[in-house]
Amino acid sequence: MSDTIRTKARIRGMHCASCSSRIQRVLGGTKGVEKVSVSLADESMDLSFDPDLLSPESVARSIKDLGFEAEFEAESGAGATDFDARRQETLDALTYQKRRLIPAFAFALPLLVISMGHMAGLTLPAIISPQTHPLNFALLQLALTLPVIYSGRFFYLRGFPALVRRVPNMDSLVAVGTGAAFLYSLWNTVEIWLGNAPMLRAMDLYYESAAVLIALISLGKYFEAAAKLKTSDAIRALMRLTPDTAILIRDGERVEIPLDEVERGDQLLVRPGERIPVDGIVVSGRSSVDESMLTGEPLPVTKTTGDEVAGGTLNTSGAMTIRAEKVGSETTLARIIEMVRTAQGTKAPIANLADTISYYFVPAVMAVAVLSGLAWYLSGEPFTFALRIFVAVLVIACPCAMGLATPVSIMVGTGRGAQLGVLVKGGEALQALSTVTCVVFDKTGTLTHGTPELTDLHLPAHAPLSETEVLALAGAAESSSEHPLAQAVVRGATARGLTLTNPASFEALFGRGVQAEVDGRRVLVGNEEFMTEQRVTGVDDDTAARVTAFSSQGKTALFVAVDGQFAAILGVADTLREEAPDVVARLKSRGIRVAMLTGDHETTARAVADQAGVDQVQARVLPENKAAEVKKLQDEGYTVAMVGDGINDAPALALADVGIAMGSGIDVAVESGDVVLMGSGLKKLPAALGLGRAVMRNIKQNLFWAFAFNTLGIPVAAGVLILFGGPGLSPMIAGTAMALSSVTVVTNALRLRRINP
């Protein structure tokens, strides 16, 4: 068996939930298809299949047999050009829909006045009065109806073929309902022309029902499409971050070239106020860079020689020259855009309910409409009354709102998450975020910064040197070592503005420390055993107490001796992230259990956990055993979110209900987890959980109103209330309500664009 191929496709011709659910169900039962997700809101399909059993061409043929068209992407992440082309295509279609509305309402409104005006006390001229000239009355209505039906001809061109293929959809409901009203009225017009009870039949015309329904439903579809267009605003905003051109430095000259001509290794000039065109490394210059649209961090970050920069971020102050490292689809921004686009086309498990109902809904509604109409007719009601019942049931039952309830919320929610620096890979991850009851943290690089730092410097009672002198000598001695603890001492010295001289001699002693000659003095830096071996003097009881205190705080003690005499003790630790205690407290305030897993020893683990406020700690856990600890929590009934750095935590991230990977904001590990926190730190973790809850709450609101609308609307349209002396539901009101239901669902989802979880 070959490796599974995953691809995306644009599906044309879907108009309601029954369309998308039928495609998904048919393809899902096809041999060779491993996973398929069809999104009505995004008009897309995400497909995983075995190339030995299927090909994109055979899948496209299967979709065509269902009455739709599939256009597969040539490659993953077609980019801004493809997105802009699709958006322009959507805008053109929206303009076309708007143009169709003009004749629809221009003819439907006077038709409504002519046919129903007498109810409002309006008197028609004698030449078109049903009492004096019934044929003129009927022919005028027919003349006004035909342009409206022509403007809505797509309902019939799509609806009837779908009905013939036994895959009825929303267009089929409209086509059958309005078609029945039109044909019945046309028959009565012929009867009037033949002179068979012309005045009676003139009052039994339903041209206005067909015409007004088409106009109202077309208006609703226009509003729905216009609202759906706004769901892509987040991706559009991200794509606008990349400039169209870049300034290439070639042979000392500056040449402006199109962005797609930039190659890896090119040196590019980025001036103040310009956006950085590609991912790269600063080779000269110094500036502050606004990374807020990429990471969500509000404060600019200082960039100097050797620092990494990301394409799309804004250079705010000085000029810089950068060397291009990643271009085109390889850039961080391009990968983020592609991940968000993929996520927007996925579904949450909660969508399965709507899909299942929609699949059976349209055939069931057609059966209910026929049975309702027949029941009223056989009970003795006039045929016209039964016809109104039939049309009203067909029209009000459109399942569009159900089909849009989940995908539009996911589209808007994932887009908003990207703006906040929370990248969610799909609907399943969003739903899992909303139900998390336990958050498990890795320690190193997650709760802590991941690199040791100099935290303490303690001098003995009779210190031979000052703090500055000791740190300058220790930093110089450690500058030739690549050990993480040594680099922490060097960073601590340079951070205090000290200039470090090169040692005249240097020797690293494995497991003990280093010895070096600095400015003519013999400097030792290492552990207590090293000091004993070198017969260092001056280590007092206070120093021993300090070592014990460092150990209880999870810090490593480094002894410094100069010319054989003890000079200072340094404390080095992987420091806790500043925001960690607040994040943990906020999680616990929401009733979420918080735990920490680490391979570090018990003392250090407990010290970090105490500082962060974490109650449950598992130390000495190897990376391969972290997944087992996550499984234990799941077996206890918890929905577990694992937060890690995405490297050694990969098994636990994969097993957790939702894996949350820490991202640097420049080269984010987008393959590691279901959710990626951009930027630095844990500040966005509560926002990620809040985003999941907000999106799921929005989806449930949409589903409630969609189901409630259909559940209540169909019986009313079928005339149940009439049996108890209540009102019926005219086809025109049913059409208006149906159109507004979809608009309401999309509008409710768009509220997510303003959330700040």
Q: Give the C-alpha distances (Å, rounded to integers) separating 576 from 158, 458, 598.
A: 62, 21, 14
**Cα distance between residue 464 and residue 566, in whole Å:** 8
How far from the centroid of its chain's Cα atoms is residue 529's Cα? 55
- 3-state DSSP helix/strand/coil % of the chain, to nearest 5: 55, 20, 30
How far from the centroid of its chain's Cα atoms is residue 465's Cα? 58
Q: Are strands 448-458 and 616-618 parallel, antiparallel or unpaired?
A: unpaired
Residue 265 per-residue DSSP state = T
**Cα distance between residue 619 and residue 597, in whole Å:** 6
CB 465 within 8 A of CB 567: yes
CB 140 within 8 A of CB 112: no
CB 223 within 8 A of CB 743: yes
**What SS3 state is found at 483?**
coil
**Cα distance between residue 190 and residue 186, in whole Å:** 6
**Cα distance between residue 367 and residue 383, in whole Å:** 18
Minimal CA–CA distance to 468: which of 444, 494, 447? Answer: 494
Q: Which two tokens stand for residue 618?
A: 């598992």
Class of residue 340 by CB neighbours under 10 A (exposed 0-12, middle 13-18, buried 19+): buried
Q: How many residues does the chain have?
A: 757
Residue 275 per-residue DSSP state = B
**Cα distance between residue 408 and residue 416, in whole Å:** 12
Q: Is 204 tagged catalytic?
A: no
The enclosing H or E element of 114 equals: helix 80-116
From 42, 46, 290, 442, active-site residue: 442
In the chain, what is the straight-line distance between the N-terminal and C-terminal CA atoms, in Å?
45
According to DSSP H, which parts of 379-507 are helical? 383-396, 400-405, 407-420, 427-434, 467-478, 484-495
- The secondary structure of 498-565 as a DSSP string is PPPPPPSEEEEETTTEEEEEETTEEEEEE-HHHHHHTT-B---HHHHHHHHHHHHTTPEEEEEEETTE
List active site positions.
442
